[in-house]
């Protein structure tokens, strides 16, 4: 691969990676600091089973979402890599 | 408490670890530092989970949550959310960078021996504070359950770790950690399932947690809130912590987790950046198994403790338990449960009959009936006594002890790898004796691992005499968050970050966090004086931003990093593009992926 046609491609690859990272981190923030701490009183008006929702997010829900977030990241990165012909 | 089953499980698991150590001997520095960097992502995920979950996660966390209720969420979110940061911001890029240690990255990326040495200091400081607690845990387990003196318990633990860390290096550590994960997760979940069945009738603790209390038609958590209110405790689902403090502690634990060297180096052992990402996902799956069970165990244990102990009639050691218990029941009373009597001898439970009525009253600080509290349980009791509370067979207790030891030893081993590689690789090979051969380095690596085992053991014995282990754990996370995380993150995501900025950021983070924690833990312990109401546990998050800001300002005021370093940053952002750049790569070529 020549130097010239490789660099610009990788700039776009990096831009997409950063965009993906930021969107996932917004969700990461929302489920833990948001639902579990900052807005828990509001969410506690609703219950999931026998637990107030805000409390549930702080002790269970956030962790489940974290797991899903990492696997979504893996899947989305593979797609971006395929698009730009990067092999990981 | 000497029990044949406990002895059986401890000896069997220890024999297994030694067997693995002999099988997985390291033949090169590649094997020793990064397990030949071809560990399967799922296997590495499991090893990372054991590496990460320490004696504190296994023994103390569920008990902490039982006492703190909602306030305990900081540990649950903080110690899992850090893996999202690791997977998205650090792990794949550090793997692509392709060296052996965290100081390797800092030293090469910032083309500076000074930066490398500061990173070594941070890594050593973080790891030693952490390892002291693990060795202490091993000593406590041995002295509490097998009747071995505390110091001998630590010595036995040292011999076991010595075997697989010195012989096998990272390779030995990896495969023993996998075995240790299996032991610890089994030991944690089996009693939890039975507890859940007893209290909620649901075999899945995570579902029982949000389900109804068995046969009462009311949610388990609602019941717990009512009971605690009646006894003068705060409600379980409410917090005793200020919101800002909850926020900062959670964040300090998350960023601290992502900056802990012994967690980061686990991701150097897989074969590519893509594998590092998947591996982080698996690590969190395995961790979440324990971390979503723990809050359920905490709530069940609290209910159970109150149900069985509160208002029960005490039976002294010199009385015949069975006869006296029958008598109490005939009078319509409730005898103190047998598990309480068994555990009383360990000193983890204490009863002081303040009103002299022979009945054990368990009360909170503002009890509506004005009765004084007479029972003080240690938080560790909640995990340890669960098997007996749930009437499980005797062998389950042995299993829990083996699980606790597995959790402590696996974390200790991971930390030892950081300590020994910081000495043999970063100080010797990369700083002082740059022309060392691979064979010599391997010898030095083994020697420094052996030295580190010895130092860790002594620290475990020494620190528990001073009793400051719990105090200094706040150091490890705060320092990792404030000193290591910003420079690693900026090193990947901001090409303009340079040597001067990195040194300034690390020194700022280290000095401010260390100073604050030291001041408010040892000099002025009054919470009213805390900066913005943030406790020492959470301050690392505040100073992380200060350190990053100082770093950025200094970097902008000084010369941009050389072109080859900027090229290096571009390379590690894209998988499979890593080519040698800069003086760091001339000294030591990066690992090739494929």
Q: What number is the average pLDDT over the span B390-401? A: 81
SS3 per residue for B14-62: HHHHHHHHHHCCCCCHHHHHHHHHCCCHHHHHHHHHHHHCCHHHHHHHH
Checking if the pLDDT of B581 tops 50, the result is yes
Give me the phi and psi of A48, to 5 degrees please: -115, 110
Evaluate whether ipTM surpasses 0.90. yes
Checking if the pLDDT of B437 tops 60, the result is yes
| Residue B48: per-residue pLDDT | 93
Tell me which residues of chain B, numbers 550 to 569, contact chain A at a CB-CB cutoff of 8 Å. Answer: none
Question: B73, A86: Cβ pair inside 8 Å?
Answer: no
Reported as a single tens digit per residue, the pLDDT across B112-131 is 999 999 999 989 988 888 88
| Residue B115: per-residue pLDDT | 93
Dihedral of CA atoms B534, B538, B544, B550 in degrees, nearest 10, equals 30
Q: Which two tokens stand for residue B3?
A: 């029990």
Facing B81 at nearest CB: one of A28, A51, A88: A28
Q: What number is the average pLDDT over the span B179-203? A: 90
| Residue A2: per-residue pLDDT | 42
Please tell me if residue B211 touches chain A, with a CB cutoff of 8 Å. yes
| Residue A1: per-residue pLDDT | 42
Question: B574, A52: Cβ pair inside 8 Å?
Answer: no
B431 vs B402, more confident: B402
Q: Which of B214-228, B308-322, B538-552 has the highest mean pLDDT?
A: B538-552
| Residue A3: per-residue pLDDT | 45
Question: B280, A62: Cβ pair inside 8 Å?
Answer: no
Instruction: Quote the strand ranges of B306-387, DSSP E.
Output: 312-313, 349-351, 359-360, 375-377
| Residue A23: per-residue pLDDT | 96
Maximal C-alpha separation, chain B: 86
> In the predicted model, what is the mean pLDDT of chain B?
86
Distance, CA of A36 to CA of A61 (rounded, Å): 9
Facing B77 at nearest CB: one of A32, A47, A77: A32
Question: A33, B247: Cβ pair inside 8 Å?
Answer: yes
A22, A43, A46, A58: best mutation site toward chain B, by most B Cβ within 10 Å?
A: A58
| Residue B481: per-residue pLDDT | 93
Distance, CA of B440 to CA of B443 (rounded, Å): 5
Percent of chain B exceeding pLDDT 90 equals 28
Please tell me if residue B478 touches chain A, with a CB cutoff of 8 Å. no
Pairing of strands B312-313, B359-360: antiparallel
Distance from CA of B473 to the nearest CA of A (A): 22
Q: What number is the average pLDDT over the span B45-67? A: 88
pLDDT band at B594 (very low <50, low <70, confident <90, very high): very low
B66, B81, B96, B205: best mutation site toward chain A, by most A Cβ within 10 Å?
A: B81
Q: What is the DSSP letter of B367?
A: -
Nearest to B83 by CA among B223, B279, B268, B337: B279
Distance, CA of B404 to CA of A78 (rounded, Å): 38
Reported as a single tens digit per residue, the pLDDT across B223-277 is 888 888 888 888 888 876 788 888 999 999 999 999 999 999 999 889 889 999 9
Facing B76 at nearest CB: one of A14, A24, A63: A63
Residues of chain A with pLDDT under 70: 1-8, 88
Q: Are B419 and B161 in contact (CB under 8 A)?
A: no
* Cα-Cα-Cα-Cα dihedral sign, residues B60, A51, B252, B185: positive
Checking if the pLDDT of B292 tops 90, the result is yes
Checking if the pLDDT of B533 tops 50, the result is yes
Question: A67, B222: Cβ pair inside 8 Å?
Answer: no
Domains of chain B (ranges, CATH numbers): 4-303+393-587 (1.20.1730.10)
Q: How far is CA A32 from CA B75, B237, B345, B489, in A?
A: 12, 16, 41, 21
pLDDT band at B542 (very low <50, low <70, confident <90, very high): very high
B295 vs B98, more confident: B295
Q: Which of A55-59, B29-33, B151-155, B222-226 has the lowest mean pLDDT?
A: B29-33
Q: Which two tokens stand for residue B1?
A: 């408490």
Checking if the pLDDT of B543 tops 50, the result is yes
The alpha helices in B331-385, defined as continuous H runs, are 338-344, 381-384
Nearest to B292 by CA among A68, A64, A54: A64
Q: What number is the average pLDDT over the span B151-159? A: 86
B451 vs B148, more confident: B451
pLDDT band at B469 (very low <50, low <70, confident <90, very high): low
Checking if the pLDDT of B592 tops 80, the result is no
Distance from CA of A55 to the nearest CA of B (A): 6
Q: What number is the average pLDDT over the span B513-541? A: 82
Checking if the pLDDT of B470 tops 70, the result is no
| Residue A73: per-residue pLDDT | 96
Question: A66, B81: Cβ pair inside 8 Å?
Answer: yes
Q: Which of B100-109, B285-294, B502-511, B516-525 has the lowest mean pLDDT?
A: B516-525
């Amino acid at each position: 691969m020549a130097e010239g046609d490789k660099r610009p491609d990788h700039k776009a690859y990096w831009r997409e990676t950063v965009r993906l990272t930021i969107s996932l981190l917004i969700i990461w923030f929302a489920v833990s600091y948001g639902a579990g701490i900052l807005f828990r009183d509001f969410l506690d008006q609703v219950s999931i089973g026998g637990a107030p929702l805000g409390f549930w997010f702080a002790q269970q829900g956030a962790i489940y979402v974290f797991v899903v977030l990492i696997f979504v990241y893996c899947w989305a990165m593979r797609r971006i890599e395929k698009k730009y012909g990067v092999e990981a | 408490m000497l029990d044949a089953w406990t002895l059986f499980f401890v000896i069997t698991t220890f024999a297994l670890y030694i067997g693995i150590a002999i099988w997985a001997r390291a033949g090169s520095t590649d094997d020793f530092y990064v397990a030949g960097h071809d560990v399967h992502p799922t296997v590495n995920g499991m090893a990372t989970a054991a590496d990460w979950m320490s004696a504190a996660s296994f023994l103390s966390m569920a008990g902490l949550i039982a006492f703190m209720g909602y306030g305990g969420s900081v540990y649950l979110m903080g110690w899992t959310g850090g893996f999202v940061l690791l997977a998205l911001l650090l792990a794949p890029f550090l793997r692509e960078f392709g060296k052996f240690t965290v100081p390797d990255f800092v030293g090469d990326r910032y083309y500076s021996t000074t930066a490398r040495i500061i990173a070594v200091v941070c890594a050593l400081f973080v790891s030693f504070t952490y390892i002291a607690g693990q060795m202490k845990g091993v000593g406590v387990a041995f002295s509490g359950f097998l009747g071995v003196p505390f110091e001998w318990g630590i010595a036995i633990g040292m011999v076991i770790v010595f075997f697989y860390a010195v012989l096998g290096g990272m390779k030995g550590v990896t495969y023993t950690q996998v075995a240790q994960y299996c032991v610890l997760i089994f030991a944690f979940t089996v009693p939890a399932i039975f507890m859940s069945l007893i209290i909620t009738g649901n075999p899945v603790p995570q579902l029982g947690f949000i389900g109804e209390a068995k046969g009462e038609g009311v949610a388990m958590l609602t019941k717990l809130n009512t009971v605690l209110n009646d006894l003068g405790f705060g409600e379980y689902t409410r917090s005793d912590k200020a919101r800002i403090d909850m926020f900062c502690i959670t964040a300090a634990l998350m960023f601290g987790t992502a900056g802990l060297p012994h967690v980061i180096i686990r991701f150097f052992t897989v074969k590519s950046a893509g594998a590092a990402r998947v591996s982080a996902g698996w690590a969190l799956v395995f961790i979440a198994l324990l971390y979503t069970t723990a809050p359920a165990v905490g709530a069940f244990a609290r209910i159970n403790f109150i149900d069985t102990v509160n208002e029960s009639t005490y039976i002294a050691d010199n009385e015949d338990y069975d006869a006296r218990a029958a008598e109490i029941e005939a009078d319509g009373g409730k005898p103190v449960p047998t598990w309480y009597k068994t555990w009383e001898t360990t000193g983890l439970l204490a009863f002081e009959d303040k009103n002299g009525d022979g009945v054990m009253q368990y009360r909170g600080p503002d009890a509506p009936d004005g009765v004084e509290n007479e029972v003080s349980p240690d938080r560790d009791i909640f995990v340890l006594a669960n098997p007996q509370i749930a009437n499980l067979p005797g062998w389950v207790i042995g299993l829990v002890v083996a699980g606790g030891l597995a959790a402590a030893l696996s974390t200790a081993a991971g930390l030892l790898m950081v300590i020994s590689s910081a000495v043999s690789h970063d100080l010797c090979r990369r700083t002082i004796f740059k022309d060392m051969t691979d064979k010599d380095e391997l010898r030095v690596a083994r020697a420094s691992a052996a030295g580190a085992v010895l130092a860790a053991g002594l620290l475990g014995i020494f620190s528990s005499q001073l009793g400051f282990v719990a105090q200094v754990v706040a150091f490890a996370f705060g320092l990792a968050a404030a000193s290591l995380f910003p420079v690693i993150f900026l090193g990947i995501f901001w090409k303009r970050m340079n040597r001067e900025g990195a040194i300034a950021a690390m020194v700022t983070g280290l000095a401010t966090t260390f100073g604050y924690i030291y001041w408010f833990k040892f000099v002025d312990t009054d919470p009213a004086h805390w900066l913005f109401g943030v406790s020492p546990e959470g301050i690392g998050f505040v100073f992380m931003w200060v350190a990053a800001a100082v770093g950025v300002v200094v970097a902008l005021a000084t010369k941009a990093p050389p072109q080859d370093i900027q090229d290096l940053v571009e390379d590690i952002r894209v998988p499979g593009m890593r080519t040698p750049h800069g003086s760091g790569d001339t000294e030591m070529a990066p690992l090739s992926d494929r």
